[in-house]
Amino acid sequence: MTAHHHNDHADHGHDDDHGHDEHGGHDHGSLKSYATGFILSVILTAIPFWLVMGKTFGSSSTTAMVILGFAAVQIVVHMVYFLHMNTRSEGGWTMLALIFTTMLVVITLAGSLWVMFHLNHNMMPTSAHEMRNLP
Least confident piece of the model among 15-24, 46-55, 105-114: 15-24
> Does the global pTM surpass 0.85?
no
Q: Is the pLDDT of residue 134 over 90?
A: no
Q: Assess whether pLDDT exceeds 90 at residue 95.
A: no
Say how far apart CA 25 and CA 35 lie, in whole Å: 20
- Contact yes or no for 37/101 (Cβ under 8 A): no
- pLDDT for the residue 54: 93
Contacts of 63 (CB under 8 A, 6+ apart): 51, 52, 56, 57
Q: Alpha carbon of 131 to those of 124, 125, 127: distances in Å?
A: 9, 7, 6
pLDDT of 22 over the 90 cut = no
Q: What is the pLDDT of residues 39-76, one digit of tens each?
A: 999 999 999 999 999 999 988 889 988 998 898 899 88
H/E/C letters for each residue in 49-66? HHHHHCCCCCCHHHHHHH
